[in-house]
A = this chain, B = another copy of it.
Amino acid sequence: MIFRQLFEPDSSTYTYLLACAETGTAALIDPVIDTVERDLEMIQQLQLKLAYTIDTHLHADHLTGARVLRDKTGCQVAFPEVEKPECADIPMKEGVPLQFGSIILDPLFTPGHTSHHFAYRVDNGTQYMVFTGDALLIEGCGRTDFQSGDSAILYRSIREKLFTLADETLVYPGHDYNGRHVSSIGQEKERNPRLGMAKTEAEFITIMKNLDLPYPRKIDFAVPGNEQCGRCPKNVPAEFQGPCVRFDQGE
């Protein structure tokens, strides 16, 4: 398998490129509209063909690159089935793997950050890699105070689904704000200060309740935009309109 971990600095989002080395068939997990050119350049350099974009959830902190990538490459847009926007092509569903080339991507329903969140698990040939989106972050987790967030549900998603994977499973998060790139299930069980094995559900709920986070900068346009697979609604502020204009994605 070909693998690249790519970073979008404005929203600190990781986009992951996975491709089958034999067939050249590729997928992008959580592409960002701002970095579509970079992603396409990498796909071209590696002589791959983009078959799918795959979102972990309906993001509130950035616009997905899914729609632009479909326009430019003819790929299909995969989205969590619970709240699949009408614009998407493929509903992701637990128990229904998505295969491209020899790669089998296994959706794990992990709600709590949003009610429809999925993590995706892939076998790299030696250990599993799990792309945890905004459910489990390295030494953290996604916030639960907007959209359909629910701390008790997130706790169970992580403890009962992600933490039952093998300790050697590699954790590739949807974001990191401190330059961390990778962890493992064993490491998060041991070290995650919110959700590690030493923390009870009640403690986790209290921690999340007291985070006192600022209102998300992009939520007012990102959520309606992502409900259209990455189209720019009319309320995108001037400072964020760059990719909307470049890709002619405005309403």
* Interchain CA distance A183-B184 in the complex, whole Å: 9
A167 contacts which chain B residues (CB < 8 A)?
A: 5, 181
* A168 and B4 form a contact (CB under 8 A): yes
A9-30 residues with Cβ-Cβ distance < 8 A to B are none
**Min CB–CB distance A189 → chain B (angstroms):** 9
Quick one: copies of this chain in the complex? 2
Does B187 lie within 8 Å of A182, measured CB to CB? yes
Which of B5, B125, B182, B190 meets A124, CB within 8 Å?
B125
Please measure, in the bound complex, the distance between the C-alpha atom of A179 and the C-alpha atom of B188, giving whole angstroms: 9
Selected contact of A181 from candidates B5, B124, B181, B187, CB within 8 Å: B187
B170 touches A180 (CB 8 A): no
A58 to chain B, nearest CB (A): 28
**In the complex, A3 has a CB within 8 A of chain B:** yes
Which of chain A's residues 191-223 have a Cβ closer than 8 Å to chain B? Answer: 191
Q: List chain B residues, Cβ under 8 A from A3.
A: 126-127, 168
Interface residues of A in 105-140 (CB under 8 A from B): 124-127, 129
When chains A and B are docked, how far (Å) is the Cα of A71 from the Cα of B33? 60
List chain B residues, Cβ under 8 A from A125.
1, 124-126
Q: How far is the CA of A126 from the CA of B181 in the complex (A)?
A: 16
Knowing A1-B125, A125-B1 are in contact, say whether A187-B191 is a contact too (CB < 8 A): no
Interfacial residues of chain A within 151-197, with CB under 8 A of chain B in the complex: 167-168, 170, 178-184, 186-187, 190-191
Contact partners of A179 in chain B: CB under 8 A: 187, 190-191
Which residue of chain B has its CB nearest to the CB of A176?
B187
- 11 residue pairs of the A-B complex, CB under 8 angstroms, read A3-B127, A3-B168, A124-B124, A126-B129, A170-B182, A179-B187, A179-B190, A179-B191, A181-B186, A181-B190, A182-B184
Q: Across chains A and B, which 4 residue pairs bring their CB atoms closest together, nearest first? A: A125-B125, A124-B126, A181-B187, A179-B190
